[in-house]
A and B are shown apart, each in its own frame.
Chain A
Amino acid sequence: MPDDTTVEDRLKAMIVERLFLKVAPSEIADDDILMEKFEIDSVRLFEIVIGLEEVFDISLEDDEFSIERFESVKAIAALVREKLQATGRASA
Chain B
Amino acid sequence: MEEPLYFPSDAFRLFGVLHLPEGARRDCGLVFSPPFAEEQKQAYRVFVELARRLEREGFPSLRFDYRGTGDSEGPFSEFSLAGAMRDIAAAAAFLRERTSVSRIGLIGLRLGASLALQSAECGMRNAECEPPTTDGPPATGRASRVTCPSCLVLWQPIVDGALFHRLNIRRMQVRQMMTGGKATGERATGSAATIDLDGFLASRAMCEEIKALNIAECGTRIADWPPTLLVQFAHTTEPSGELKPLIEKLGPAAQFLPFVLEPFWDRLGYIDCSAPISATAAWLTRLPPA
CB atoms of B174 and A49 under 8 A apart: yes
Question: Bound complex: CA of A61 vs CA of B190, how far in Å?
Answer: 13
CB atoms of A49 and B181 under 8 A apart: no
Chain B interface, number of residues (Cβ within 8 angstroms): 22
CB atoms of B262 and A65 under 8 A apart: no
Q: Is the C-beta of B53 less than 8 angstroms from some C-beta in chain A?
A: no
Among the listed stretches B115-123, B127-135, B136-144, B165-173, which one makes contact with chain A, having 4 or more residues with CB under 8 Å of it? B165-173
Question: Bound complex: CA of A50 vs CA of B174, how far in Å?
Answer: 10
A42's partner among B174, B186, B235, B236 (CB-CB below 8 A) is B174
Q: Mark A33-69, 1 if CB is under 8 A from B, else 0.
A: 0000000011101110110010000001111011100
Q: Mark B29-57, 1 if CB is under 8 A from A, else 0.
A: 00000000000000000000000000000
CB atoms of B268 and A43 under 8 A apart: yes
Question: Bound complex: CA of A50 vs CA of B236, how far in Å?
Answer: 17
- List A contacts of B267 (CB < 8 A): 43
- List A contacts of B181 (CB < 8 A): 66-67
A50's partner among B170, B182, B235 (CB-CB below 8 A) is B170
Q: Identify the interface centre among B167, B176, B235: most chain A CB within 10 Å of its CB.
A: B235
Smallest Cβ-Cβ distance to B175: which chain A residue: A42
Smallest Cβ-Cβ distance to B181: which chain A residue: A67
Task: Kindly count the residue-residue contacts between A and B in the assembled complex, taking CB atoms under 8 Å apart.
Answer: 56
Provide the main secondary structure of the chain B interface.
Answer: helix
Q: Mark B148-181, 1 if CB is under 8 A from A, else 0.
A: 0000000000000000000100110111111001
B173's partner among A43, A47, A62 (CB-CB below 8 A) is A62
Q: Indicate the size class of the contact surface on chain A.
A: 20 to 34
CB atoms of A43 and B235 under 8 A apart: no
Q: Identify the interface centre among B171, B177, B182: most chain A CB within 10 Å of its CB.
A: B177
Question: Bound complex: CA of A65 vs CA of B176, how far in Å?
Answer: 9
CB atoms of A62 and B171 under 8 A apart: no
Q: Is the C-beta of B184 less than 8 angstroms from some C-beta in chain A?
A: yes
B268's partner among A18, A41, A60, A66 (CB-CB below 8 A) is A41
CB atoms of B178 and A62 under 8 A apart: no
Q: Is the C-beta of B187 less than 8 angstroms from some C-beta in chain A?
A: yes
- List A contacts of B171 (CB < 8 A): 43, 46
Chain B residues close to A by CB (< 8 Å): 167, 170-171, 173-178, 181-187, 235-236, 262, 266-268
6 contacts between A and B (CB under 8 A): A17-B236, A46-B171, A62-B184, A65-B176, A65-B183, A67-B181
